[in-house]
Amino acid sequence: MNLALLLGLTQALALTMSVAFVTYVALIVVPYLRHKRLPGGDPTTLEWHFFVPCRDEETVIGDTVAYLRQTFREAHVWVIDDDSDDRTAEVVMGLRGPRHGGTGDQRLHLVRRQRPFARTGKGDALNSAYRELKRWLGKHADTDRAIIVVVDADGRPAPDCLEVCSAEHLFGNPRVGAVQVDVRMSNRGTSPSAGGYFKRKFGSALVRMQDLEFRSAIAAIQLSRGHTGTISMGGNGQFTRLSALDSIVEGAGPWRGALLEDFELGVHLLTAGWHTGFTVDTHVDQEALYSLRRFLTQRTRWGQGTMQCARYVRRIWDSRHLSTLGAAEMLYYLAQPWMQLLGTLIYPIPFVLLGIRATHNPTEVWEWFSGGAWLLFATYGSFGLMPFIIWGPIYRKKCEPDKGFFRGLAYGFAYAIYIYTFYITSWRALVRLIRGHNGWTKTRRNTEAGHPVVALDH
Amino acid sequence: MAMAGSLPMPSAPRTTIGGRVLIAALAGAAVALIVLNRAYRTAEMALASGILNVVTSSGVYLAAKRQTVYFGLGTDHPFGLQMSPECTSAFLVLPLLVVGAIMIGLRPRIAGRVLGALALATIAVILVNQLRILTLVGLIDWLGTDRGYYWGHTLLGSMVSIIGGAAALVMFVWISTRKPKAER
């Protein structure tokens, strides 16, 4: 292939990918901006069980359990201790009190896992709690009424979340098997306590970007998925009907072994014929990461999880429960890390070729550039950046109306830079996939600064 | 109360021999767009010269071997436009063919709709590129060679490509993924 052909091909592919993305963003922004709060339902018609998977969560679990028990008095809380090395289990047992004699908290449960069967993944931990719950409920329980809520050890579901999730369009509809709620970052606007001026500023900005990403871009994607029937589940603030979980049990339970076990669960529910819902009318708060290193580690894991889930493409497209538009949407999502890899290979080619040409004939290239080609760069640059920049003002308008317009714009530019980290994490994820490194330890929380391990294979 | 998911659903049939032939044909067409790119560009310029012959009163000449069309012949400002690999619509059609082949491979029963969508999107992409050439010719005629080419090639041409490409893409997705009438 000659250089002109290669240039034409790469330019056209880059244009197609950019145009596809711009169009996609334009389509998802509309339902997000138009969204109006819907009426809630009666949470007493359902039975609520919080699952809190824990691994060395001594620093946060006490407050989380206290919050859940005080805020949702009728709900059960199931703490899953994944053989913690710290005092996680002791903290929970202390809060529970004596199990017998009726003096302890009968709605607080501890599911203990022991090595070598522990620490094999979040999905396995959730399956343990699922089996324990099934035993506790007995054979004649009304599994359509029981709702499982997966919450992180530092998660804080909003007080109105049960009411919102009971709404007619969510669990009020018997066909809805799972609901994902909006995720917010509890430490947005809070600087990290340690580090110099620039490190703290950077940490705050990173947290803000995570909040922006979840509350605007991801929320918009999820709302638009309401039209394609492909709303996916997240790891935190994930509500699932027990009968839906029962219908997809395979082996040890409903959760499977992918690193993105939440997305995987959604795939199984959707292909089994359940509907899924998403709402921004309530939320769950979680702590965002201040550290870029830990952030990249987390996102590499997510990227690798998405790559692993490529094995479900055939299942998705074979399913008669998913429309072609829905299957195409899920394929587009699963293709994202691969398209990022392709993008890092394709996007630089025109620039490299231009650089080579400029080296051989700088005058000609300069005349070409100053004679109007700069406008071409500006046009394509704008189309490349606009789909990211717009989320800044949108986030300000919908989530942080007290902030100024220019702050919103600055968020947008910062978000454009933030997104480019995914090109790094996708490559890291690919390398791990090729090497067969499929296991991870949990991502360290901000309060666990002293722990030396960030993420390793097990 | 809840009933979904209680019964195993039969899977859709996997790709048939006919489907495989179709996928191979689409993949072959994608490769042909690269290998026979010069011929494709010649055809594009032949189409452009035909349209220019109809819409302009001045002379038009097609230099097929150079994929170039000359227009404004017989006037004070004759001009020639060459279709380079960077300006052809061939490479915009190529991803559609690849995506179409993947979709047919994954869900053979939508082959008819995907082919229809492909045909319409391909026509749209080709027409958009013709519109780009016509815009360029119009601007050169209106603003003169330098300014007309500058605005027509760099900004307006790119905008036509982006907007036209987006429209073709939306049309392709909409037609290929919409439910059959019986299911609507």
Question: Which pLDDT belongs to residue B6?
Answer: 38
pLDDT tens string B1-34: 444 433 344 455 567 888 889 999 999 999 999 9
Question: Which pLDDT belongs to residue A373?
Answer: 75
- Residue A104 scores a pLDDT above 70: yes
- Residue A347 scores a pLDDT above 90: no
Going by the DSSP 8-state scheme, the letter that residue A370 receives in this structure is: I
Specify which residues B26 forms β-bridges with: none
In chain B, which residues have their Cβ closer than 8 Å to the Cβ of A318?
Answer: 11-12, 14, 107
Question: Which pLDDT belongs to residue A445?
Answer: 63
Q: Which residues of A127-248 form beta strands (DSSP E)?
A: 146-150, 156-157, 176-185, 238-241
% of chain A exceeding 90 in pLDDT: 62
**Nearest residue in chain B measured CA to CA from A325:** B177
- Residue A390 scores a pLDDT above 90: yes
A399: which 2 tokens?
Answer: 């989530």
Residue A368: which CATH number? 3.90.550.10
Alpha helices, H only, A286-390: 292-308, 313-318, 324-346, 348-360, 362-368, 374-389
Specify which residues B79 forms β-bridges with: B71
State mean pLDDT over A88-117: 85
Least-confidence region, from A14-23, A350-359, B107-116: A14-23
Q: Identify the band that residue B143 occupies on the pLDDT scale cut at 50, 70 and 90.
A: confident
Dist CA A329 CA A394 (whole Å): 23
Q: Which has the higher per-residue pLDDT, A11 or A272?
A: A272
Task: State the smallest CA–CA distance between residue B76 and chain A in angstroms.
Answer: 24
Task: State the smallest CA–CA distance between residue A60 and chain B in angstroms.
Answer: 36
CB contact under 8 A, A144 and B179: no
Going by the DSSP 8-state scheme, the letter that residue B84 receives in this structure is: -
pLDDT tens string A278-328: 999 999 999 999 999 999 999 999 999 999 899 999 999 999 999 999 999
CB contact under 8 A, A13 and B166: no
Question: Which pLDDT belongs to residue B10?
Answer: 44
CB contact under 8 A, B11 and A318: yes
CB contact under 8 A, A174 and B91: no
What is the domain range of residue A355? 1-458
* Residue B70 Cα distances to A95, A388, B56, B158, angstroms: 86, 42, 12, 22
**Nearest residue in chain B measured CA to CA from A27:** B170
Q: Which residues of A172-203 are buried (b: 16+ CB within 10 A; e: fewer)?
A: eeeebbbbbbbbbbbbbeeebeeeeeeeeebb
State mean pLDDT over A62-76: 95
- Residue A125 scores a pLDDT above 70: yes
CB contact under 8 A, B150 and A372: yes
In chain A, which residues have their Cβ closer than 8 Å to the Cβ of B110?
Answer: 324
Instruction: Indicate the residue of A5, A145, A324 with minimum beta-carbon distance to B107.
Output: A324
Question: Which pLDDT belongs to residue A11?
Answer: 77
State mean pLDDT over A416-429: 93
Closest CA to A111 of A102, A96, A98, A100: A96
A157: which 2 tokens?
Answer: 């579901």
pLDDT tens string B21-69: 999 999 999 999 999 999 999 999 999 999 999 988 888 999 998 999 9
Task: State the smallest CA–CA distance between residue B64 and chain A in angstroms.
Answer: 18
Domain count, chain A: 1
In chain B, which residues have their Cβ closer than 8 Å to the Cβ of A9?
Answer: 34, 85, 91, 94
- Determine how β-strand A156-157 pairs with β-strand A176-185: unpaired
Question: Which pLDDT belongs to residue B86?
Answer: 82
Q: Using CB atoms within 10 A of its CB, is residue A309 exposed (0-12), middle (13-18) or buried (19+)? A: buried
Q: Identify the band that residue A374 occupies on the pLDDT scale cut at 50, 70 and 90.
A: confident
At position A244, the amino acid (one-letter code) is: A
Instruction: Indicate the residue of B9, B37, B88 with minimum beta-carbon distance to A321.
Output: B9
- A17 neighbors A25 (Cβ within 8 angstroms): no
- Residue A408 scores a pLDDT above 70: yes
Q: Which residues of A9-47 are buried (b: 16+ CB within 10 A; e: fewer)?
A: bbbbbbbbbbbbbbbbbeebbebbeebeeeebbebeebb
pLDDT tens string B74-117: 887 888 888 988 888 998 899 999 999 999 999 998 999 999 99
A290: which 2 tokens?
Answer: 């201040």
State mean pLDDT over A186-196: 88
- Residue B144 scores a pLDDT above 90: no
* Residue A211 Cα distances to A194, A299, A381, B55, angstroms: 21, 15, 25, 55
Phi, psi of B70, deg, nearest 5? -105, 135
Task: State the smallest CA–CA distance between residue A100 and chain B in angstroms.
Answer: 35
Instruction: Indicate the residue of A8, A13, A327 with minimum beta-carbon distance to B85.
Output: A8
- Residue A1 scores a pLDDT above 80: no
Instruction: Indicate the residue of A1, A8, A380 with minimum beta-carbon distance to B86.
Output: A8
CB contact under 8 A, A375 and B178: no
Q: No. of H helices and E strands in chain A?
A: 18, 8
CB contact under 8 A, B103 and A177: no
